[in-house]
Structure 1
């Protein structure tokens, strides 16, 4: 079994109950983001946790832990399933809860036969970075949240030759399947594994915050095949739009399709009354230069760290 937790007096741990614990987890995630990025940080949404629970074979009873404080309030949550995440409420830091959960996550990963564990930590969290380095994690890459103000967007130019752009059609399973194919094919070069449709949809088109009207698709005029997609989400409590995924078929790259899709997504966000559009990118994608060239700038950075675990 995974390593038992040693916690400060009065703190208790148990697995997540998805039917009753989700609101408390979302409040904790929002509190952690606001501690790092200020009161304007985006609220957590149910889709974030739903996407974790949708991972193939994920078992909340074995793969999650909640830590409650002596007053019964949620102090921390963690999960481990090839990747992992641990968040400790700002009011309960300094009690070695994060260290205890780190040991549990690693122990659970070894049980699952995972040889390497990846953690992503904001560069504004020096305590978290120092702790992971102390316990043997080493930098593997970086992720950036980029933003663009929407007030003075240039008019998009003509679409690349032979390409038409239209919004995602809500309720049309053909669009959903086509977007899944485009995104997962495009990300296969750097992602550790391919998501099946059900898991992928929980991250994107089946989330409550998915915005099809801000999610343009690029279609080849010759045969009607979807060859590019920019899939967007609403950001509750924020003036930001958010592009969750941007992808173009390999055979249609280097034609300006990605740039054109972004321009359409930006304009759709502006028409919705939003002030900025944001997106995350990872150093493994090689896409940072594209985003900088369309006028985006880095809002903040996270460090991707990895540790090799001793398998039995």
Structure 2
């Protein structure tokens, strides 16, 4: 029994159920995790959408004690069938659809809550696909309530999109080496309105500009003089046939001028020229940006909900 087994079994002596074992994650598990997530997304949505590099960036595998923040569940055959990670107030719990309703999800959720309390968090939030009815039922039974809705939007690219001229006084060019710090400051400033805390550059970069799939050619940035005032950061995930916009940000004093529209159209055009059939991005109800994307011609492909609950300390 590993240390993570011992911590959870002290909380729930019957866990894990017979026929399963658990341990913490390492970087060597990324491929198996990707296979599990792809199978989960295929079962729920008809196709996988999460890249291996995204999983690697999300997992809390750095720092002095990565074993404290991840938990994997394997069946007797050694196949990965569930996992959980915790980062501050956020967690991710996923169980293979063929292994649900056996207590794996509730055990992982208990572990996540306990780990978050140990780390000093006063609440925990999880994002769940609106098609995952089993996970929604589990969270509701555990006292979680809806926080925000997230939408995956898509833009079909059968023809090369027209790109409007930038507003007066604004210049636009593709992202290039040396833009990283300015893009970090711009996007974190923009997301201060909705995110609970700012990421450090070391946290932000692996999720964006340091990812293997980051595509500078489809990541236009806007300048007013020598100041970056807008950015679209895009990824080109192999095997998907689609482009993906990871971040859209415009400096507050430059909003409502059409900068975001110009940058997004530039990104769409770049993906069309690379032969991509569509481009997708996520937004959530806290940003108020859904109507902007719909005016551009984007449509909702599917949705998720962020559920949250306060953690009562013992």
Query: Distance in 1 between the 2:42 and 2:233 partners?
Result: 25
Q: What TM-score, normalized to structure 2? A: 0.93
SS of 1:284 mapped into structure 2: coil
Which residue of the partner structure matches residue 128 of structure 2?
121
2:91 is the counterpart of 1:89: no
- Correspondent of 2:29 among 21, 44, 50: 21
- Correspondent of 2:70 among 58, 64, 71: 64
Which residue of the partner structure matches residue 264 of structure 2?
262
- Correspondent of 1:152 among 121, 144, 159: 159
Deviations 1:210-242 (Å, cap 9, x if unpaired)? 01110000011xx32111100001123211100
Structure number with higher relative contact order (C-alpha < 8 Å, ≥ 6 residues apart): 1
Query: Distance in 1 between the 2:50 and 2:309 partners?
Result: 30
- Correspondent of 2:215 among 186, 211, 216: 211
Over 3 Å counting, the alpha-carbon distance change for 1:58 and 1:226 in structure 2 is farther
Deviations 1:103-148 (Å, cap 9, x if unpaired)? 1111111111111100111111111111110110001110000001
Contact map agreement 1:115 1:308 (CA 8 A) in 2: yes
Which residue of the partner structure matches residue 296 of structure 1?
298
Query: Distance in 2 between the 1:211 and 1:59 partners?
Result: 32
Contact map agreement 2:125 2:308 (CA 8 A) in 1: yes
- Please report how far the alpha carbon of residue 11 of structure 1 lies from its aligned counterpart in structure 2 after TM superposition: 0.6
Contact map agreement 2:31 2:52 (CA 8 A) in 1: no
- Could you tell me which runs of 5 or more consecutive residues in structure 2 were left unpaired when the two chains were aligned: 1-5
Contact map agreement 2:60 2:86 (CA 8 A) in 1: no
When structure 1 is superposed on structure 2, of 83-92 and 129-138 the one drifting more is 83-92
Contact map agreement 1:2 1:107 (CA 8 A) in 2: no
2:14 is the counterpart of 1:12: no
Which residue of the partner structure matches residue 45 of structure 2?
37
Contact map agreement 1:149 1:277 (CA 8 A) in 2: yes
- Please report how far the alpha carbon of residue 43 of structure 1 lies from its aligned counterpart in structure 2 after TM superposition: 4.8
Deviations 1:175-220 (Å, cap 9, x if unpaired)? 0111101100000011011011111000000001101110000011
Which residue of the partner structure matches residue 139 of structure 1?
146
Over 3 Å counting, the alpha-carbon distance change for 1:272 and 1:154 in structure 2 is closer
Query: Distance in 1 between the 2:287 and 2:308 partners?
Result: 17
Query: Distance in 2 between the 1:62 and 1:240 partners?
Result: 36
- Please report how far the alpha carbon of residue 54 of structure 1 lies from its aligned counterpart in structure 2 after TM superposition: 6.6
Which residue of the partner structure matches residue 163 of structure 1?
170
Query: Distance in 1 between the 2:71 and 2:25 partners?
Result: 6
